[in-house]
Amino acid sequence: MSRIFLFSAVGLAILCNTGCLINAYSSDPSMRIKALVNQSEDLRQIEQEWSRIWFTDHPSHLTNERVDGGLQ
């Protein structure tokens, strides 16, 4: 009996975390679109921040050509 209760409690906890019982977005279409646009905008900005952190948005200093013009 306790094993069944334990499995049902774990199953319910997993089911609640997947968004099946509790909706992640509003049922109003305009509010849902606002939430989805904000989420996608955040994901777009993460890509730019990631390239800034890893310095992939800067020119490479390993080339023979000097980009900044300090040495010629």
In a domain, 39, yes or no: yes
With beta carbons less than 8 A apart as the criterion, state whether 69 and 59 touch: no
Distance CA 62, CA 50 (A): 21
3-state helix, strand and coil shares in percent for the chain, rounded to the nearest 5: 55, 0, 45
In a domain, 11, yes or no: no
- Asked whether residue 6 carries a pLDDT value surpassing 60, the answer given is yes
In a domain, 34, yes or no: yes
In a domain, 63, yes or no: no
In a domain, 31, yes or no: yes
Label residues 38-65 b or e (16+ Cβ within 10 Å = b).
Answer: eeeeeeeeeeeeeeeeeeeeeeeeeeee
Domain total in the chain: 1
Average pLDDT over the chain, rounded to an integer: 76
In a domain, 70, yes or no: no
Domain extent, residue 47, equals: 26-58
**Using one digit for the tens of pLDDT, what is the confidence trace for 42-63?**
878 887 787 777 777 666 666 6
